[in-house]
Amino acid sequence: MKYVIIGAGVSGFAAIEAIRSVDKVGEIIMISDDPHGYYSRPGLAYYLTGELHDKALYPRTAGDYKKLNFKFLKGRVTRIMRSEHALEMDGKSRLVYEKLLIAVGARAMPLEIPGAKLDGVVKLDHLTDAKNILKLAKRGKTAVVVGGGITALELTEGLHARGMNVHYLLRGDRYWSNVLDKHESLVVEGRLRAEGVTLHHHAELVEISGRNGNGRVNGVRFLDGRTMKCDLVAYAIGIHPCLELVRNTDLALDRGILVDEHLQTNDPDIFAAGDVAQAYDPLSGRSVLDSLWNPARDQGHVAGLNMAGRKTAYLKPPPFNVTRLAGLTTTIIGAVGRGHDEDVIGIARGDSETWRGLPDAIVAQSGFDINHMRLMIGEKTLIGAVLMGDQTLSRPLEKMISGRADISPIREKLMTPEAPIANLIADFWIVWSEQAAL
């Protein structure tokens, strides 16, 4: 069997590992156009702040690759010729496949305002972007960040850590309003201010201006006419799955490449996984986009097994993300928000559409300081949770939400005013996990 994988991200590598666990002799070829190969994209945030060296971003060693026995081709796939089971690389060479995995990820939505192409306007998709940001941060003093979700915050904190004066612009009235509640947004914003970041609400950028001659950013103009001098503009206004390669292939598309629970497209020899895939969720009956490391890895694994002939279903668990928001460890599980965030178009990095699929739920929360827990309570089960600061209950809550624990014995108590919800959950967990033998 000849397997070809387009993309050297976590989903592509998980697929290689899965194929090799079933098929020890088949030929595997991986193709990527990223000059830095496979590295941790969430780790880019820590590389920007200086907490991680770029060498620490690589999860695999040369020895690990050797054991997997695959061929790596550096280059860009420019066309998929389904009827010939072939790919075109860099507009010239041709490569045939028997089973193909499309794992090309997603990329930043472009900023579409005058001046967006000037030198000094940056996004954070790749290690190359991060290296460019660090270079630019050395030569300037003031940065403007626009957008929402995790990446806008990572850009803000990274630039601040590199000594820049950072102005963070929000179109809406609070940070990440379709996932966090008001209290949680205010905690994040308060911490950013305390660090020295300047926040601007209801601020919309309409133009970036450049210095005459060298095409470098030197300022921005807001919708209300105000202007500000700056040396760098960073944006994170949402991402979109990389669909250019598949637009003319008649593969079924929606917001991403549509795949069934086997990660198979409408072509039985073509699979898709990770940020580019819109995967079927048997629990909700909907197909959703995630931009999360763990689902990308799990989808790649399941796609690889299916490509190698071991029929396996991807049972999408409630999305789970442990991240850091303004220095505060925050875990988001299941469905926690709804509506639209004015700072993000569609989905952001480290985000899941499932987080906003909130059915009717009652909110219980405790801790109105930095150690905060919010639970979304359904009829019999917990539907979602946000934990800020103290993370003691994050794994138990993940297990209870994904295992659809019947919380009827504590449901009423959780909903009483001033309920000690952390204690109730901790006590319930001891009993439930024993019964569930976790």
Ligand X SMILES: Cc1cc2nc3c(=O)[nH]c(=O)nc-3n(C[C@H](O)[C@H](O)[C@H](O)COP(=O)(O)OP(=O)(O)OC[C@H]3O[C@@H](n4cnc5c(N)ncnc54)[C@H](O)[C@@H]3O)c2cc1C
Residues near ligand X (CB under 6 A) are 6-12, 31-34, 41-42, 44-45, 76-77, 103-105, 124-125, 150-151, 154, 242, 245, 274-275, 291-294, 296, 321, 323, 349-350
**CA angle (234 as vertex; 335, 241 as ends), nearest 5:** 50
Smallest separation, CB 177 to ligand X (Å): 18
- 3-state secondary structure at position 75: coil
Which CB, 189 or 275, lies closer to ligand X?
275
What's the residue count for the chain? 438
Which CB, 15 or 407, lies closer to ligand X?
15
Smallest separation, CB 424 to ligand X (Å): 29
Which CB, 242 or 424, lies closer to ligand X?
242
Phi, psi for 142 (deg, rounded to 5): -120, 135
Which CB, 76 or 191, lies closer to ligand X?
76
Residues 6+ apart with CB under 8 A from 409: 428
Handedness of CA 222, 132, 30, 249 (dihedral sign): positive
**CA angle (46 as vertex; 41, 50 as ends), nearest 5:** 135
Smallest separation, CB 370 to ligand X (Å): 19
Dist. CA 194–CA 105, nearest whole Å: 35
Which CB, 113 or 322, lies closer to ligand X?
322
Phi, psi for 140 (deg, rounded to 5): -130, 170
Smallest separation, CB 291 to ligand X (Å): 4
Smallest separation, CB 147 to ligand X (Å): 12
CB-nearest residue to ligand X: 274
Smallest separation, CB 217 to ligand X (Å): 21
Dist. CA 81–CA 154, nearest whole Å: 39
Which CB, 75 or 268, lies closer to ligand X?
75
Residues 6+ apart with CB under 8 A from 393: 373, 387, 422, 425, 426, 429
The DSSP symbol for 337 reads: -
